[in-house]
């Protein structure tokens, strides 16, 4: 292919958060913050002057230096991998082309250290179990007060500097021990006498202490009787000085990684002495001095324990593993939950409690083992403890939002007094992000200003003292998930470090994601604002960022069709005094009922848009429709028909119908004429005399795609403002809750397409009354959605075409699409779509397409069974072979399809 020749195979080498060394300066380390293959790389960046504010080319990475904070974009050849940090629960592979992945179950990190002040290095690697972060408290830490748990949202710190010793209150953790600073702050925060004392002298930070902390309280102890819990008030937000002694800090011990340039200290002073740590002593006055034993992490290395999908476990250097960056929906391990391949990737692993969905309905199961090459799992049925082998394509690890299935290693959970009220695998989510955390908090009376003043007051009161938080050693009602046991029980680590084991229904998942909650609120605040493409409904935003970029057919040629018709037929007279007749579309020219651009009062000519080629090199748009003579349809297969009544199973049948205006009816007449003459043979459309605002289309899957011979039924609603606004679409998804059949076609019925304005594509690809048509929408779905390699429809995935890992992911996705779409044939024959009953039966029975589908399935299964597992023999077929995970559900579908065909060919009165 030309595209592949221009872009040779290039595999991702570096990943976000990798520690790298610069080839030009090997002793200078940096962290990778952007990668050329990231999904978000397709979103335009504002020009802020930041060196990273441009789109990355293939093979480029954005980095931030640990040494001086400088940011730059470098080529892959300019950097070397130094270390790669993983957390327990991360999904990894030994090679991106491997099918099998694993879960990190444990990490072990060693560090090289040097003194923060003297820069004196310690000899040899130090196990991080002997050190801890040199902080009293930091934003995001869990804190406990009585029967409440919260998270630190902001702090004010006291900074003590060397030179002329001084103390200063500063909001936020902006200083690091050992760094040089002039300590110049704004007068609104800093007492003027300190400004006069310090001037612009450079000083070295020697100590940082918390003076005031703002805490967002998340949840109350769930092991209390309800009446008692209701009587305990929420603690206050701000804590200062010695008040901090009343708070307890929950420090996780499940993650032992440290970053270069982090400040740490030895937990045991005797161990520090034996390792050669010599504190730096700074006299404050005749009787007081500060001893600094803070260390800087100068280098890191990590080894990780990995539990592989086949149940084996092994130890690896982290740099010999790669994160599973392009996780497929049904990659045995995971289902993407919110933003595709971001902070919300979900996956299944041994011990996880998930839902298995087959012909008998959903069943709660506990995963025992996974076989990724075969795409099958061994699960224990929760109802009776029996072990069963199932297809990974029929396992749902997530549940419909907002439900959550099970808990995962690293989750914070509340331990309930009694049953949490849900049947496994569902786990309730508890916790409340307080409203004040969702505001900037700046300004004269903002909460951040208030916190800074409290810190300064505590600093200036001799009796207030420096605060320090204790450890929550006696708390037993909250903890961190350590292990999911194969019997379905959960091992939880308490703040004391002790572990307890509970069944799933004794736990609730603590909601603590402030960033996610704020993101949702910001989107909701902007919802419905016109002209703002960046801020939209949260579900639409998630779709835009993670679910697909859908091109439409070329508009330019289609404009000629409307223009040609304009020559044949005079458009209706437009009464500009009636808003129903003329609507404005964004900032475009007014559009007449027939769909023709109309000059404004200033008589400016309408400028034809420049055609925009499809972004996907793999997708060739279908030919534009032409106003040819109506095709000679079979009496049993009429492409466009206006029926008397809308069928009751139409999704929009119960939607109130408005009285159509002249513009609506005039445009609809033209749309009908084009549909009657230009529909391809594989698309049927039904309109209705009693509901001119509704349509239904049946689109057949194109040959040599995963969707071949499958029926796709989509219902359409034309709003009274049509054609100024695009039609609304609802896709009938018949996947039995087992995921999407295509990245564009959602289970809940959403159709993601630029021309429908459900994806924010280029302006020339969006709906326009002057350029777009219903035919264009129908043909776009068939030609640009139901494609041979649907995986590449995901945003930014097209740029991965030609990489080895993308080929694996694409092949697995296409198999899933094929298996699910065979079920569409079965569903359409068992529950005939209204208004298309005769056509569906004629197509599949009389024309013999059902028999062909059955033969194709039988042949493909036989070919897959006969070939060795993992065969990669070249083939031009969309589905060259199946895994066992695809064969299992497909055999059940095959049995049902054969029974349907046998019943049809057997006389009804046979005995």
Residues with catalytic function: 752
The Cα 771–Cα 554 span in angstroms is: 10
The Cα 293–Cα 850 span in angstroms is: 77
CB 353 within 8 A of CB 360: no
Per DSSP, helices labelled H in 245-380 are 269-274
The β-bridge relationship of strands 429-430 and 507-510 is parallel
Q: Could you give the 3-state DSSP secondary structure of residue 103? A: strand
Strand spans (E) along 162-202: 166-171, 180-181
The Cα 400–Cα 788 span in angstroms is: 28
State how far Cα 8 lies from the chain centre.
28
Which residue carries 């900037």 as its tokens? 440
Token code pair at residue 889: 């559900």
The Cα 650–Cα 501 span in angstroms is: 50
State how far Cα 545 lies from the chain centre.
8
Buried-state track 77-105, b at ≥16 Cβ within 10 A, e below 16: eebeebbbbbebbbbbbbebebbbbbbbb
Q: Could you give the 3-state DSSP secondary structure of residue 436? A: helix
The Cα 104–Cα 89 span in angstroms is: 5
Question: What's the full length of the chain, in residues?
Answer: 911
Closest CA relative to residue 342, chosen from 516, 197, 190: 516
CB 19 within 8 A of CB 85: yes
Token code pair at residue 593: 């009922």
Q: What is the DSSP secondary structure assignment for residue 42, as one 8-state letter? A: G
Residues in CB range of 572: below 8 A, 6 or more apart: 592, 593, 594, 662, 663, 666
ω into 723 cis (within 30 of 0): yes
The Cα 323–Cα 325 span in angstroms is: 5
The β-bridge relationship of strands 683-688 and 640-643 is parallel
Report which secondary-structure segment, H or E, holds 430: strand 429-430
């Amino acid at each position: 292919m030309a595209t592949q020749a221009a872009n040779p195979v290039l595999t991702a080498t570096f990943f976000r958060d990798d520690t790298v060394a610069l080839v030009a300066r090997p002793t200078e380390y940096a962290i990778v913050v952007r990668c050329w293959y990231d999904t978000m790389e397709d979103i335009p960046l504002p020009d802020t002057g930041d060196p990273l504010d441009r789109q990355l080319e293939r093979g480029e990475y954005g980095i931030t230096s640990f040494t001086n904070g400088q940011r730059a974009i470098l080529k892959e050849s300019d950097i070397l991998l130094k270390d790669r940090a993983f957390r327990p629960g991360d999904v990894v592979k030994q090679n991106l082309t491997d099918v099998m992945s694993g879960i990190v179950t444990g990490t072990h990190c060693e560090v090289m250290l040097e003194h923060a002040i003297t820069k004196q290095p310690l000899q040899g690697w130090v196990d991080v179990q002997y050190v801890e972060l040199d902080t009293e408290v930091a934003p995001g830490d869990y804190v406990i007060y009585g029967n409440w748990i919260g998270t630190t949202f902001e702090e004010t710190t006291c900074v003590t500097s060397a030179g002329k010793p001084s103390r200063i209150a500063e909001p936020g953790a902006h200083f690091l021990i050992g760094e040089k600073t002039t300590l110049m702050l704004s007068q609104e925060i800093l007492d003027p006498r300190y400004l006069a004392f310090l001037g612009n002298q450079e000083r070295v930070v020697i100590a940082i202490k918390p003076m005031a902390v703002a805490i967002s309280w998340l949840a109350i102890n769930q092991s209390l009787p309800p009446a008692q819990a209701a009587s305990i008030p929420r603690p206050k937000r701000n804590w200062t000085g010695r008040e901090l002694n009343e708070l307890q800090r929950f420090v996780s011990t499940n993650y032992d990684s440290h970053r270069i340039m982090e400040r740490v200290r030895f937990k045991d002073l005797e161990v520090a002495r034996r390792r050669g740590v010599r504190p730096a002593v700074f006299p404050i006055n005749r009787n007081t001095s500060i001893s600094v034993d803070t260390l800087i992490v100068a280098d890191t290395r990590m080894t990780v324990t990995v539990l592989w999908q086949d149940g084996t476990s092994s130890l690896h250097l982290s740099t010999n593993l790669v994160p599973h960056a392009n996780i497929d929906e049904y990659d045995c391990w995971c289902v993407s939950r919110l933003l595709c391949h971001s902070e919300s990737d979900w996956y299944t692993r041994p011990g996880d409690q998930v839902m298995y969905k087959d012909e008998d309905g959903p069943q709660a199961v506990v995963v025992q083992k996974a076989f990724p090459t075969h795409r099958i799992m061994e699960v224990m049925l929760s109802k009776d403890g029996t072990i069963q082998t199932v297809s990974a394509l029929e396992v749902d690890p997530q549940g419909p939002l907002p439900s959550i299935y099970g808990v995962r290693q690293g989750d914070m959970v509340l331990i309930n007094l009694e049953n949490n009220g849900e049947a496994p695998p569902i786990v309730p989510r508890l916790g409340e992000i307080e409203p004040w955390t969702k505001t900037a908090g700046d300004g004269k009376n903002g909460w951040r200003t208030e916190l800074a003043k409290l810190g300064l007051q505590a600093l200036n009161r001799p009796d207030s003292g420096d605060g320090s938080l204790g450890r929550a050693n006696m708390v037993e009602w909250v903890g961190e998930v350590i292990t999911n046991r194969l019997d379905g029980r959960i091992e939880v680590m308490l703040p004391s470090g002790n572990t307890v084991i509970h069944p799933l229904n004794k736990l609730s998942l603590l909601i603590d994601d402030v960033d996610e909650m704020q993101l949702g609120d910001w989107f909701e605040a902007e919802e419905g604002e016109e002209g703002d493409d960046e801020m939209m409904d949260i579900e639409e935003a998630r779709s835009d960022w993670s679910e697909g970029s859908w091109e439409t057919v070329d508009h330019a040629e289609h404009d000629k069709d409307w223009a040609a018709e304009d020559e044949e037929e005079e458009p209706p007279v437009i009464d500009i005094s009636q808003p129903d007749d003329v609507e404005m579309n964004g900032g475009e020219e007014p559009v007449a009922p027939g769909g023709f651009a109309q000059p404004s009062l200033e008589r400016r000519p309408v400028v034809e848009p420049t055609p925009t080629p499809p972004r996907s090199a793999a997708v060739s748009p279908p030919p534009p429709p032409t106003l040819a003579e109506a095709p000679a349809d079979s009496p049993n297969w009429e492409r466009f028909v206006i029926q008397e009544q809308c069928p009751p199973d139409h999704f929009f049948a119960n939607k109130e119908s408005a009285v159509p205006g002249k513009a609506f009816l005039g445009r609809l007449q033209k749309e009908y004429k084009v549909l009657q003459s230009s529909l391809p043979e594989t698309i049927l459309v039904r309109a209705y005399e009693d509901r001119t605002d509704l349509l239904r289309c049946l689109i057949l899957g194109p040959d040599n795609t995963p969707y071949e011979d499958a029926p796709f039924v989509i219902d359409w609603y034309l709003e009274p403002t049509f054609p100024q606004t695009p039609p609304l679409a609802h896709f009938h998804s018949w996947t039995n809750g087992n995921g999407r059949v295509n990245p564009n076609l959602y289970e809940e019925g959403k159709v993601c397409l630029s021309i429908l304005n459900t994806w924010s594509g280029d302006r020339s690809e969006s709906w326009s009354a002057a350029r777009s048509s219903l035919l264009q929408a129908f043909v776009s779905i068939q030609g640009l959605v139901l494609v041979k390699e649907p995986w590449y429809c995901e945003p930014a995935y097209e740029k991965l075409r030609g990489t080895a890992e993308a080929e694996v992911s694409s092949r697995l996705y296409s198999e899933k699409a094929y298996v699910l779409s065979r079920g569409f044939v079965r569903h359409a024959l068992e529950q005939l779509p209204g208004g298309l009953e005769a056509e569906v039966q004629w197509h599949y029975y009389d024309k013999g397409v059902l028999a062909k589908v059955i033969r194709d399935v039988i042949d493909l299964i036989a070919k897959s069974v006969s070939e060795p597992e993992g065969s990669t023999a070249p083939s031009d077929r969309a589905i060259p072979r199946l895994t066992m995970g695809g064969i299992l559900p497909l055999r059940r579908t095959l049995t049902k399809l054969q029974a349907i065909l046998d019943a049809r060919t057997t006389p009804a009165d046979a005995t």
